[in-house]
Amino acid sequence: MILVYSHWILLVMAGKTPSKPPVTAPRKLPKQQRAKFMVESILQAAAHILEQGNQPFTTNHIAELAGVSIGSLYQYFPGAEAIMAALIKSHVAQERASAEATLASSGGHNTDVMRDLLIAFVEAHSYSPRLSARLHAMAPGFGLQDELNTARDAQALSIAKALGMPEQETIIAVMAVEGVVLAMLARDPAQLKDADFIDRLHAIALAALSFGAK
Protein backbone atom coordinates (compact mmCIF):
# COMPACT_ATOMS: atom_id res chain seq x y z
CA MET A 1 0.00 0.00 0.00
CA ILE A 2 2.84 2.38 0.88
CA LEU A 3 4.55 1.76 -2.46
CA VAL A 4 1.33 2.33 -4.38
CA TYR A 5 0.67 5.54 -2.49
CA SER A 6 4.23 6.78 -3.02
CA HIS A 7 3.96 6.11 -6.75
CA TRP A 8 0.64 7.94 -6.92
CA ILE A 9 2.16 10.94 -5.11
CA LEU A 10 5.00 10.92 -7.60
CA LEU A 11 2.67 10.98 -10.60
CA VAL A 12 0.66 13.84 -9.12
CA MET A 13 3.73 15.90 -8.20
CA ALA A 14 5.78 15.21 -11.33
CA GLY A 15 2.85 15.29 -13.72
CA LYS A 16 4.23 12.51 -15.92
CA THR A 17 5.02 8.83 -16.12
CA PRO A 18 8.61 7.99 -17.07
CA SER A 19 8.66 5.99 -20.31
CA LYS A 20 12.41 5.90 -20.95
CA PRO A 21 15.60 6.06 -18.86
CA PRO A 22 15.82 9.53 -17.29
CA VAL A 23 18.70 11.89 -17.91
CA THR A 24 20.11 12.29 -14.43
CA ALA A 25 23.50 13.85 -15.14
CA PRO A 26 23.79 17.65 -15.00
CA ARG A 27 24.45 19.44 -18.29
CA LYS A 28 27.53 21.06 -16.79
CA LEU A 29 29.04 21.93 -13.45
CA PRO A 30 29.15 25.52 -12.18
CA LYS A 31 32.64 27.02 -12.09
CA GLN A 32 32.18 30.66 -11.18
CA GLN A 33 30.95 31.65 -7.73
CA ARG A 34 27.80 33.24 -9.11
CA ALA A 35 26.91 30.06 -10.98
CA LYS A 36 27.61 27.93 -7.90
CA PHE A 37 25.27 30.14 -5.88
CA MET A 38 22.55 29.79 -8.50
CA VAL A 39 22.82 26.00 -8.62
CA GLU A 40 22.73 25.85 -4.83
CA SER A 41 19.60 28.03 -4.86
CA ILE A 42 17.99 25.62 -7.32
CA LEU A 43 18.79 22.62 -5.13
CA GLN A 44 17.56 24.39 -2.00
CA ALA A 45 14.31 25.27 -3.74
CA ALA A 46 13.89 21.68 -4.89
CA ALA A 47 14.50 20.40 -1.37
CA HIS A 48 11.97 22.88 0.00
CA ILE A 49 9.31 21.67 -2.46
CA LEU A 50 9.90 18.09 -1.38
CA GLU A 51 9.75 18.99 2.30
CA GLN A 52 6.54 20.99 1.96
CA GLY A 53 4.87 18.61 -0.44
CA ASN A 54 2.32 21.18 -1.65
CA GLN A 55 3.74 21.97 -5.10
CA PRO A 56 4.55 19.77 -8.11
CA PHE A 57 8.20 18.80 -8.39
CA THR A 58 8.69 20.39 -11.80
CA THR A 59 11.42 22.56 -13.27
CA ASN A 60 9.02 25.49 -13.58
CA HIS A 61 8.09 25.45 -9.89
CA ILE A 62 11.69 24.89 -8.83
CA ALA A 63 12.95 27.80 -10.95
CA GLU A 64 10.20 30.08 -9.67
CA LEU A 65 10.95 29.32 -6.02
CA ALA A 66 14.71 29.64 -6.60
CA GLY A 67 14.22 33.04 -8.24
CA VAL A 68 15.95 32.06 -11.48
CA SER A 69 14.74 31.85 -15.06
CA ILE A 70 13.81 28.47 -16.48
CA GLY A 71 16.50 29.01 -19.12
CA SER A 72 19.15 29.46 -16.43
CA LEU A 73 17.99 26.26 -14.72
CA TYR A 74 18.24 24.31 -17.98
CA GLN A 75 21.82 25.48 -18.45
CA TYR A 76 22.76 23.13 -15.63
CA PHE A 77 19.94 20.58 -15.32
CA PRO A 78 18.21 18.85 -18.26
CA GLY A 79 15.10 18.16 -16.20
CA ALA A 80 13.55 17.42 -12.82
CA GLU A 81 15.15 13.96 -12.79
CA ALA A 82 18.63 15.49 -12.79
CA ILE A 83 17.70 17.79 -9.91
CA MET A 84 16.28 14.85 -7.97
CA ALA A 85 19.47 12.90 -8.68
CA ALA A 86 21.60 15.78 -7.35
CA LEU A 87 19.57 15.86 -4.14
CA ILE A 88 19.91 12.10 -3.74
CA LYS A 89 23.66 12.24 -4.29
CA SER A 90 23.95 14.94 -1.63
CA HIS A 91 21.83 12.86 0.76
CA VAL A 92 23.92 9.75 0.12
CA ALA A 93 27.18 11.69 0.53
CA GLN A 94 26.07 12.93 3.95
CA GLU A 95 25.23 9.38 5.03
CA ARG A 96 28.56 8.09 3.75
CA ALA A 97 30.55 10.85 5.45
CA SER A 98 28.77 10.21 8.74
CA ALA A 99 29.51 6.48 8.57
CA GLU A 100 33.15 7.03 7.61
CA ALA A 101 33.65 9.47 10.48
CA THR A 102 32.20 6.90 12.89
CA LEU A 103 34.42 4.13 11.54
CA ALA A 104 37.49 6.37 11.68
CA SER A 105 36.94 6.99 15.37
CA SER A 106 36.21 3.32 16.20
CA GLY A 107 38.68 0.94 17.75
CA GLY A 108 37.73 -2.23 15.93
CA HIS A 109 35.00 -4.82 15.46
CA ASN A 110 32.61 -4.67 18.40
CA THR A 111 28.93 -4.11 19.04
CA ASP A 112 29.56 -0.56 20.31
CA VAL A 113 30.83 0.45 16.88
CA MET A 114 27.72 -1.00 15.26
CA ARG A 115 25.54 0.95 17.67
CA ASP A 116 27.46 4.14 16.90
CA LEU A 117 26.95 3.50 13.17
CA LEU A 118 23.22 3.08 13.74
CA ILE A 119 23.04 6.35 15.66
CA ALA A 120 24.92 8.14 12.88
CA PHE A 121 22.62 6.60 10.24
CA VAL A 122 19.49 7.64 12.12
CA GLU A 123 20.81 11.15 12.71
CA ALA A 124 21.57 11.55 9.00
CA HIS A 125 17.93 10.73 8.20
CA SER A 126 16.31 12.63 11.05
CA TYR A 127 18.08 15.94 10.31
CA SER A 128 15.47 16.64 7.60
CA PRO A 129 13.04 13.73 8.03
CA ARG A 130 10.43 14.80 5.51
CA LEU A 131 13.05 15.45 2.85
CA SER A 132 14.71 12.08 3.50
CA ALA A 133 11.37 10.27 3.36
CA ARG A 134 10.31 11.92 0.10
CA LEU A 135 13.66 11.36 -1.59
CA HIS A 136 13.44 7.64 -0.90
CA ALA A 137 9.74 7.44 -1.75
CA MET A 138 9.98 9.32 -5.05
CA ALA A 139 13.30 7.96 -6.31
CA PRO A 140 11.77 4.86 -8.01
CA GLY A 141 9.38 6.94 -10.11
CA PHE A 142 12.26 9.08 -11.32
CA GLY A 143 14.26 5.99 -12.25
CA LEU A 144 16.75 6.58 -9.45
CA GLN A 145 16.21 3.59 -7.17
CA ASP A 146 19.34 1.88 -8.49
CA GLU A 147 21.43 4.84 -7.34
CA LEU A 148 20.11 4.47 -3.80
CA ASN A 149 20.63 0.70 -3.84
CA THR A 150 24.16 1.00 -5.16
CA ALA A 151 25.07 3.59 -2.54
CA ARG A 152 23.55 1.48 0.24
CA ASP A 153 25.45 -1.66 -0.80
CA ALA A 154 28.71 0.29 -1.19
CA GLN A 155 28.35 1.65 2.32
CA ALA A 156 27.59 -1.82 3.67
CA LEU A 157 30.70 -3.24 2.00
CA SER A 158 32.77 -0.39 3.42
CA ILE A 159 31.51 -1.22 6.92
CA ALA A 160 32.17 -4.93 6.40
CA LYS A 161 35.73 -4.26 5.27
CA ALA A 162 36.49 -1.84 8.09
CA LEU A 163 35.13 -4.10 10.82
CA GLY A 164 36.05 -7.48 9.36
CA MET A 165 32.47 -8.67 9.00
CA PRO A 166 31.00 -10.97 6.31
CA GLU A 167 29.90 -8.92 3.32
CA GLN A 168 26.57 -10.58 2.53
CA GLU A 169 25.36 -10.50 6.14
CA THR A 170 26.42 -6.87 6.45
CA ILE A 171 24.43 -5.94 3.33
CA ILE A 172 21.38 -7.73 4.77
CA ALA A 173 21.81 -5.92 8.09
CA VAL A 174 22.04 -2.53 6.38
CA MET A 175 19.00 -3.31 4.23
CA ALA A 176 16.99 -4.34 7.29
CA VAL A 177 17.96 -1.25 9.24
CA GLU A 178 17.29 1.05 6.29
CA GLY A 179 13.83 -0.46 5.77
CA VAL A 180 12.83 0.09 9.41
CA VAL A 181 14.22 3.65 9.49
CA LEU A 182 12.43 4.64 6.28
CA ALA A 183 9.17 3.15 7.52
CA MET A 184 9.49 5.10 10.76
CA LEU A 185 10.27 8.29 8.84
CA ALA A 186 6.92 7.96 7.11
CA ARG A 187 5.03 6.92 10.24
CA ASP A 188 6.48 8.84 13.20
CA PRO A 189 9.86 10.63 12.72
CA ALA A 190 9.98 11.62 16.39
CA GLN A 191 10.57 7.96 17.28
CA LEU A 192 13.94 8.06 15.55
CA LYS A 193 15.46 9.88 18.51
CA ASP A 194 14.06 7.43 21.07
CA ALA A 195 16.73 5.29 22.79
CA ASP A 196 14.42 2.27 22.66
CA PHE A 197 14.21 2.62 18.88
CA ILE A 198 18.01 2.51 18.61
CA ASP A 199 18.06 -0.56 20.86
CA ARG A 200 15.62 -2.35 18.56
CA LEU A 201 17.58 -1.36 15.46
CA HIS A 202 20.70 -2.69 17.15
CA ALA A 203 18.99 -6.02 17.80
CA ILE A 204 17.83 -6.22 14.17
CA ALA A 205 21.34 -5.51 12.87
CA LEU A 206 22.98 -8.07 15.16
CA ALA A 207 20.38 -10.70 14.23
CA ALA A 208 21.13 -10.20 10.55
CA LEU A 209 24.88 -10.33 11.16
CA SER A 210 24.59 -13.61 13.10
CA PHE A 211 22.64 -15.19 10.22
CA GLY A 212 25.78 -16.44 8.47
CA ALA A 213 27.58 -17.40 11.68
CA LYS A 214 25.59 -20.63 12.14
- Confidence class for position 112, pLDDT limits 50, 70, 90: confident
- pLDDT(106) > 80: no
* CA 198/CA 185 separation, integer angstroms: 14
What's the CA gap between 57 and 71, in Å, rounded? 17
Element (H, E) at 128: none
pTM of the model: 0.78
The domain containing residue 131 runs over which residues? 88-213
How many domains, the chain? 2
Residues 96 and 71 both lie in one domain: no
Distance CA 42, CA 70 (A): 10
Which region holds residue 53: left if phi is over 0, alpha if psi is between -120 and 50, else beta? Answer: left
Q: Which of 52, 80, 108 is the last residue of a domain?
A: 80
Given a contact cutoff of 8 angstroms between Cβ atoms, the answer to whether 88 and 45 are in contact is: no
pLDDT digits (tens, 9 = 90+) for 160-214: 988 888 999 999 999 999 999 999 988 898 888 888 999 999 999 989 887 655 4
Torsion sign across C-alpha atoms 207, 114, 132, 186 = positive
